[in-house]
Amino acid sequence: MLKNNESINHPTLNKIIEKAQKKNEYQNYSIRRILFEFDSVVDKQRNIVYAQRDVIMGSDDIRSGVFDIVGIYTSIVLINLF
29-40 tens-digit pLDDT = 999 999 999 999
Mean pLDDT (whole number) for 10-32: 94
Q: Please tell me the distance from the alpha carbon of residue 50 to that of residue 58, in angstroms, as a whole number.
A: 12
Q: How confident is the model at residue 4 (pLDDT cuts 50, 70, 90)?
A: confident
Look over the chain and give the mean of its residue pLDDT values, rounded to a whole number: 89
Nearest residue to 65 via CA among 51, 44, 47: 51
Q: What is the pLDDT of residue 46?
A: 94
pLDDT at residue 58 greater than cutoff 90: no
Please check whether residue 58 is in contact with residue 75, taking contact to mean a CB–CB distance below 8 angstroms. no
Q: Please tell me the distance from the alpha carbon of residue 32 to that of residue 67, in angstroms, as a whole number.
A: 39
DSSP string, 7-21: PP--HHHHHHHHHHH
